[in-house]
C-alpha cells in the first residue's frame, strides 16, 4: 500500500481514509505483544458468487470456503465476517449440504463443524450472506469509515460529476467485510469469483477472466479465477465504466483501467509498466509470477494505491492529462512501488503487521532501484535521499522497524516501515555488494514463495548467501530504533603525515551504532579508499598522506542513514563537487556554498551547479540563489537566462523563469511571452507571473486569452493572480463558485491554498467575505475524527496568514472579518 503524500495538501484523503480513533489515555497496548495469528484452520480455496445492490450499497454473497486444520485436529472454525447479515451456514457434503450451528457477534463467526477434522483434512463450508459495508460497526461502537472493505462510489448516480464505481480495499483486515475468511496476512488461498454486474460495466479481479455470461435481466456474470494462493487482504473487485488499455509482458496481459476520458493518455501514465516488470523480474531472478497485471483507478479512494495481487488499485490522482505529464509523471514511483509488491508482499507476505517491513520497505526501495535503473544513479540517489529526509522529518526515531507493540495495526504504515526500512535495505546492499544483495533477495523469495515470512527469514537468506552472521545488523536496524547522529571532524598532522578523522556519535540515549563505512582520501583527482568500522561513541581514524589531502570524504558512497555535522571547508566542498561527484557529494557542496554567497568561490560553484548534468541538482541550485546580493545577481544572470530559454527539463526551465522574473528586466519580456505557450503548466504559469512584473498590461491580456483555453495547475493560479491584480474579479467569482459547488473531498481541500492566496490579493470586501465564508463552511463540515488535524492548517496557514497580509495592506475591516471567524485560541496576537 502506498499512502498519499504527507504533504499538507495530500493530508485530507489519508486523514479521511485512515481516521484514527480519538487518542485516549489508554496505553495498555504498550505491554501487549502482538503475536503472529495462530493458525488453527488454514484457508485452502475461496469461491464466491456475488451480486451488487446499488440502491442499498449491499452485496449479496455466497461463499464456498475450503479449509483444513493446520496441524492439530479441531471441531470448530472461526471466520472473520464484519457487519454481515448471515443467512445460512452449512457443510458441503458432495452434492448435499448439512447445516451447521454458529454464533455470530457481528465481527466473527464461531462455527461448530459437524465433526472433528484432523490436520490437513480438507472440508468446505458454504455461507449465504449479505455484506453491508456502510453499516459495519467497530465492535459495537460507531460506524467505521476507514475500513469498509467494499466501497460503492456514487452508487445511485446522483453526482453527475463522478462515475459510478465499486472497488475494494482489503489491507489491513477489511476484506472480511465482503467475504467471510480468516483475515490474517499469514493465510493464503486460491480463489474464484463470479461477479454479477450491470452489463454496461467492466469488472476486474485477481487472476484471469475465464468467462462472461449475459443474463436475461440486463446483467452479466464475469468469472475470475486466481489459481495461485495469496492472502485475503489482497483480494480485489473493481466494477465501473472504464476504458481498458492493453499492453503485454512476455505474452501476459498488462492492462490499465482508467476513466473513459483518460483512455487516450493511459499509456503515457502507465506505459512503463512492462519495462518495470522486466526490470524487477531480472533483479529478483523471479520472473513475474502471476498470470496478468492490471492497474485500475478508483474515485474517492481512501489511500494512495494498493497492490492487490495482479490487480493494483490506484487513487484517481494517478490520472493525469497529457499537459500535466509534461512536467513529469507524478505517479511513476507509485506504479513501481505497487508492482514490486507483487513480489514483496504478494508472492511472499509479511506474516504479521509487525513484520510489514517485508512488504513496505521493499516497495519503498523499489522506487530508488527503478529510478537508478531508468534514469541513472543521480536519480536513484535523489529518490533515496528524499525518502531519507521523509523519515528524518517524521520524528519517529523511537520506533523499532519490526514493531511488536503498537496501538492500532494501521500505525505500522509509517515513515519507519517505508522510508527508514528502504534506507536500511540500501545500506545492506552497500555492505554486502550488489550481487550478494540480489542473490539473497532471490533466495528469500524462492524459499518462501506463496507463504508468509518474518524479518528473520530475510536474515537467513542474507546469511546463507554471504556466509556472514548478520544478527548484529538485524538487531541494530530491524529490532532496534533510531539512527546515528554523527559529528565528523577532519584534521591533518604535518609531523606524522597523517590525516585524522574523529567520528562522534551524538544521538541521545545509550545506543551506539556499528557502521561499516568507506573513507576516501583525495589528492587531486587521486582517490584512496579505506574501509573502516565506526563502533564506539567516539572513534578516531588515521590515514597516511604525504601532504594535507584536498579532501577526506567520510562515507564515500554516501549511503548512511544519518544526520551529520562536518567541519569541511569551502575548498574541500568544491573538491568534493568536482571529484567525489555522487549526487549527495554535489548536493552537500551546493548546500554549503549557498550559505557563503559573499564568497566569490562559492558563487562560482553555484554557477557551475546551475549547469549540473542532473536536473534535480540544477533545480536545487536555482532555488538556493540569493538574488538580493548584487554580485550573485550579476554572476548568474546569463546562466539563468540560458536555462529559462533552453533547458530541456520543464521543472528546471520553470524555476529559471521564476528566478529570472525577480530581475524585473524588460529585456526578458519576449522570453516570458514565448514561454506562455509552453505545454508545461508550470513553465507557462511562472512565465505569466514573471511577465506581469515587467509588462502588466500584456500579462493581463495574455491571462484573459489563456483563461479561455485549457488551463490547470500553476498556470490556472497564475491567471487568477494576474487578473486579480488588475482588478478584474470575474475569474475570482468563477473560481469561488466552483469551490462552493464541490462536495467535501480531497480535490476541494487541494484548492484551499490557491483560494487563500487569491483572497489575500483582493481588496474587494464582498469577494473576500464570500471566499472566507466558503472556507469556513468547508472547515466546519470536516468530520470530527480529522478536524484536529485540518483545523490548525485552515485556521493557521490560511486564515491567520490572510489576516497578516490584510493588515499590512491596511485593509483592517477585512482583517477584522477574518478574525471573527477564528476560534478564540487563535485570536491571540491580533
Ligand atoms: Zn506499499
pLDDT per residue as tens digits for the range 691-702: 999 999 999 999
C-alpha of residue 580 to centroid of ligand 1, in Å: 34
- Of 481-490, 618-627, 634-643, 745-754, the range with the lowest mean pLDDT is 745-754
C-alpha of residue 717 to centroid of ligand 1, in Å: 33
C-alpha of residue 227 to centroid of ligand 1, in Å: 24
Within 8 A by CB and 6+ apart from 561, the residues are 388, 391, 420, 423, 424, 426, 427, 483, 484
18 pLDDT higher than 50: no
5 pLDDT higher than 50: no
Cell (9 digits) for 193:
469469483
824 membership: H or E segment, kind and range: none
C-alpha of residue 337 to centroid of ligand 1, in Å: 6
Mean pLDDT of all residues in 396-417: 94
Cell (9 digits) for 190:
486460491
pLDDT per residue as tens digits for the range 117-131: 999 999 999 999 999
Question: How far is the C-alpha of 73 from the C-alpha of 65, rounded, in Å?
Answer: 18
C-alpha of residue 195 to centroid of ligand 1, in Å: 27
C-alpha of residue 625 to centroid of ligand 1, in Å: 37
C-alpha of residue 1 to centroid of ligand 1, in Å: 3
Residue 732: predicted pLDDT? 85
3-state secondary structure 234-301: HCCEEEECEEEEEEEECCEEEEEEEEHHHHHHHHHHHCCHHHHHHHHHHHHCCCCCCCEEEEEEECCC
Residue 81: predicted pLDDT? 98
Mean pLDDT of all residues in 89-116: 97
Mean pLDDT of all residues in 676-701: 96
3-state secondary structure of 229: strand
Q: Side-chain half-sphere of 679: how many Cα atoms within 13 Å?
A: 10
Beta-bridge mates of residue 773: none
728 pLDDT higher than 90: no
C-alpha of residue 659 to centroid of ligand 1, in Å: 37
C-alpha of residue 331 to centroid of ligand 1, in Å: 13
pLDDT per residue as tens digits for the range 184-227: 999 999 999 999 999 999 999 999 999 999 999 999 999 999 99
C-alpha of residue 342 to centroid of ligand 1, in Å: 10
Mean pLDDT of all residues in 435-442: 98
Average confidence score pLDDT of the chain: 94
C-alpha of residue 235 to centroid of ligand 1, in Å: 15
pLDDT per residue as tens digits for the range 589-603: 999 999 999 999 999
Tell me 36's DSSP state: P
C-alpha of residue 65 to centroid of ligand 1, in Å: 28
Whether this prediction's pTM lies above 0.85 is answered by yes
21 pLDDT higher than 60: no
Question: How far is the C-alpha of 259 from the C-alpha of 225, rounded, in Å?
Answer: 25
Residue 144: predicted pLDDT? 56
C-alpha of residue 307 to centroid of ligand 1, in Å: 7
15 pLDDT higher than 50: no
C-alpha of residue 340 to centroid of ligand 1, in Å: 9
635 pLDDT higher than 60: yes
pLDDT per residue as tens digits for the range 776-818: 999 998 877 678 778 888 998 889 989 999 999 999 999 999 9
C-alpha of residue 809 to centroid of ligand 1, in Å: 47
- Of 26-35, 574-583, 657-666, the range with the lowest mean pLDDT is 26-35
C-alpha of residue 387 to centroid of ligand 1, in Å: 14
C-alpha of residue 544 to centroid of ligand 1, in Å: 47
Percent of the residues in the chain that have a pLDDT greater than 90, as a whole number: 83
pLDDT per residue as tens digits for the range 281-338: 999 999 999 999 999 999 988 889 999 999 999 999 999 999 999 999 999 999 999 9
Percent of the residues in the chain that have a pLDDT greater than 70, as a whole number: 96
Residue 145: predicted pLDDT? 60
C-alpha of residue 304 to centroid of ligand 1, in Å: 9
Whether 358 contacts 348, CB under 8 Å: yes
C-alpha of residue 341 to centroid of ligand 1, in Å: 7
744 pLDDT higher than 90: no
C-alpha of residue 356 to centroid of ligand 1, in Å: 9
Mean pLDDT of all residues in 331-359: 98
Question: How far is the C-alpha of 473 from the C-alpha of 424, rounded, in Å?
Answer: 9
C-alpha of residue 21 to centroid of ligand 1, in Å: 23
C-alpha of residue 359 to centroid of ligand 1, in Å: 7
C-alpha of residue 96 to centroid of ligand 1, in Å: 43
Mean pLDDT of all residues in 509-529: 97
17 pLDDT higher than 70: no
Mean pLDDT of all residues in 570-582: 97
C-alpha of residue 365 to centroid of ligand 1, in Å: 10
C-alpha of residue 317 to centroid of ligand 1, in Å: 16
C-alpha of residue 360 to centroid of ligand 1, in Å: 5
Of the pLDDT bands very low, low, confident and very high (cuts 50, 70, 90), residue 20 is very low
Residue 139: predicted pLDDT? 58
CB atoms within 10 A of CB 487: 15
Q: What are phi and psi of 170, to 5 degrees?
A: -90, -45
Q: What is the DSSP string of 370-411?
A: HHHHHH-HHHHHHHHHHHHHHHHTTT-TTS-SS-S--SSGGG
Whether 565 contacts 509, CB under 8 Å: no
249 pLDDT higher than 50: yes
C-alpha of residue 466 to centroid of ligand 1, in Å: 28
Whether 632 contacts 638, CB under 8 Å: no
What dihedral do alpha carbons 728, 730, 735, 737 form, nearest 10°? 150
Whether 829 contacts 802, CB under 8 Å: no
Amino acid at each position: 500500500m502506498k499512502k498519499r503524500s504527507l504533504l499538507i495538501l495530500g493530508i485530507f484523503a489519508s486523514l479521511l481514509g485512515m481516521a484514527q480513533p480519538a487518542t485516549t489515555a489508554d496505553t495498555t497496548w504498550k505491554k501487549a505483544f502482538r503475536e503472529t495469528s495462530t493458525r488453527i484452520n488454514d484457508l485452502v480455496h475461496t469461491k464466491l458468487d456475488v451480486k451488487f445492490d446499488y440502491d442499498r450499497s449491499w452485496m449479496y454473497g455466497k461463499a464456498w470456503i475450503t479449509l483444513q486444520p493446520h496441524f492439530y485436529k479441531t471441531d470448530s472454525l472461526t471466520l472473520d465476517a464484519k457487519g454481515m447479515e448471515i443467512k445460512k451456514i452449512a457443510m458441503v457434503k458432495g452434492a448435499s449440504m448439512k447445516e451447521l450451528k454458529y454464533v455470530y457477534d457481528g465481527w466473527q463467526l464461531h462455527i461448530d463443524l459437524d465433526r472433528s477434522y484432523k490436520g490437513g483434512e480438507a472440508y468446505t463450508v458454504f455461507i449465504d450472506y449479505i455484506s453491508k459495508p456502510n453499516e459495519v460497526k467497530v465492535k459495537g461502537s460507531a460506524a467505521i469509515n476507514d475500513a469498509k472493505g467494499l466501497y460503492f462510489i456514487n452508487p445511485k448516480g446522483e453526482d453527475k460529476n463522478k462515475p459510478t464505481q465499486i472497488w475494494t480495499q482489503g489491507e489491513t483486515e477489511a476484506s472480511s467485510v465482503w467475504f467471510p475468511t480468516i483475515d490474517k496476512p499469514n493465510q493464503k488461498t486460491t480463489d474464484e469469483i463470479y461477479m454479477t454486474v450491470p452489463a454496461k460495466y467492466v469488472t476486474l479481479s485477481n487472476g484471469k477472466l475465464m468467462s462472461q455470461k449475459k443474463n436475461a435481466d440486463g446483467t452479466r456474470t464475469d468469472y475470475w479465477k486466481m489459481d495461485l494462493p495469496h492472502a485475503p487482504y489482497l483480494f480485489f473487485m473493481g466494477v465501473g465504466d472504464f476504458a481498458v488499455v492493453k499492453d503485454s509482458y512476455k505474452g501476459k496481459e498488462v492492462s490499465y483501467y482508467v476513466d473513459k476520458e483518460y483512455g487516450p493518455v493511459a499509456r503515457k501514465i502507465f506505459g512503463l509498466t512492462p519495462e518495470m516488470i522486466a526490470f524487477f523480474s531480472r533483479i529478483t531472478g523471479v520472473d513475474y509470477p502471476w498470470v496478468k497485471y492490471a492497474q485500475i483507478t478508483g474515485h474517492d479512494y481512501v489511500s494512495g494505491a494498493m497492490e492487490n495481487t495482479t490487480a493494483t488499485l490506484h487513487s484517481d490522482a494517478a490520472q493525469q492529462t497529457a499537459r500535466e505529464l509534461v512536467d513529469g509523471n507524478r505517479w511513476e514511483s507509485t506504479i513501481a512501488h505497487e508492482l514490486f509488491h507483487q513480489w514483496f508482499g504478494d508472492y511472499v507476505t509479511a506474516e504479521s503487521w509487525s513484520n510489514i517491513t517485508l512488504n513496505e520497505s521493499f516497495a519503498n526501495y523499489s522506487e530508488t532501484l527503478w529510478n537508478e535503473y531508468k534514469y541513472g544513479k543521480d536519480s536513484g540517489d535523489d529518490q533515496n535521499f528524499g525518502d531519507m529526509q521523509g523519515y528524518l522529518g517524521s520524528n519517529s526515531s523511537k520506533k523499532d522497524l519490526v514493531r511488536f507493540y503498537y496501538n492500532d495495526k494501521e500505525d505500522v504504515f509509517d515513515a519507519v516501515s517505508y522510508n527508514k526500512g528502504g534506507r536500511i535495505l540500501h545500506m545492506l546492499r552497500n555492505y554486502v555488494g550488489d550481487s550478494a544483495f540480489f542473490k539473497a533477495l532471490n533466495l528469500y523469495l524462492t524459499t518462501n514463495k506463496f507463504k508468509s515470512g518474518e524479518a528473520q527469514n530475510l536474515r537467513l537468506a542474507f546469511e546463507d548467501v554471504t556466509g556472514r552472521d548478520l544478527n548484529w545488523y538485524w538487531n541494530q536496524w530491524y529490532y532496534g530504533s533510531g539512527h546515528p547522529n554523527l559529528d565528523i571532524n577532519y584534521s591533518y598532522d604535518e609531523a606524522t603525515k597523517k590525516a585524522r578523522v574523529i567520528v562522534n556519535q551524538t544521538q541521545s540515549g545509550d545506543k551506539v551504532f556499528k557502521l561499516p563505512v568507506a573513507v576516501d582520501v583525495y589528492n587531486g583527482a587521486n582517490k584512496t579508499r579505506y574501509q573502516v568500522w565506526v563502533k564506539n561513541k567516539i572513534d578516531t581514524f588515521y590515514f597516511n598522506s604525504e601532504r594535507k589531502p584536498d579532501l577526506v570524504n567520510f562515507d564515500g558512497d554516501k549511503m548512511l542513514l544519518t544526520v551529520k555535522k562536518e567541519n569541511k571547508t569551502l575548498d574541500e566542498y568544491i573538491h568534493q563537487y568536482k571529484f567525489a561527484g555522487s549526487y549527495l557529494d554535489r548536493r552537500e557542496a551546493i548546500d554549503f556554498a549557498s550559505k557563503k554567497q559573499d564568497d566569490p568561490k562559492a558563487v562560482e560553484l553555484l554557477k557551475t551547479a546551475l549547469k549540473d548534468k542532473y536536473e534535480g541538482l540544477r533545480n536545487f541550485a536555482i532555488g538556493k540563489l540569493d538574488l538580493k546580493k548584487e554580485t550573485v545577481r550579476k554572476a548568474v544572470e546569463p546562466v539563468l537566462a540560458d536555462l529559462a530559454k533552453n533547458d530541456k527539463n520543464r521543472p528546471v526551465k520553470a524555476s529559471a523563469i521564476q528566478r529570472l522574473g525577480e530581475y524585473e528586466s524588460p529585456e526578458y519580456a519576449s522570453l516570458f511571452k514565448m514561454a506562455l505557450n509552453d505545454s508545461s503548466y508550470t513553465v507557462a504559469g511562472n512565465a505569466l507571473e514573471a511577465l506581469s512584473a515587467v509588462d502588466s498590461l500584456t500579462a493581463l491580456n495574455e491571462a484573459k486569452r489563456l483563461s479561455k483555453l485549457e488551463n490547470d495547475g500553476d498556470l490556472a493560479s497564475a491567471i487568477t493572480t494576474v487578473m486579480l491584480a488588475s482588478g478584474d474579479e470575474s475569474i475570482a467569482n468563477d473560481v469561488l463558485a466552483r469551490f462552493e459547488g464541490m462536495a467535501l473531498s480531497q480535490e476541494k481541500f487541494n484548492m484551499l491554498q490557491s483560494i487563500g492566496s487569491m483572497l489575500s490579493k483582493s481588496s474587494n470586501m464582498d469577494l473576500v467575505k464570500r471566499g472566507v465564508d466558503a472556507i469556513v463552511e468547508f472547515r466546519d463540515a470536516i468530520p470530527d475524527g480529522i478536524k484536529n488535524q485540518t483545523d490548525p492548517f485552515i485556521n493557521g496557514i490560511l486564515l491567520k496568514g490572510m489576516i497578516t497580509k490584510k493588515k499590512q495592506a491596511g485593509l483592517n475591516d477585512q482583517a477584522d472579518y477574518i478574525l471573527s471567524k477564528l476560534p478564540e485560541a487563535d485570536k491571540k496576537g491580533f
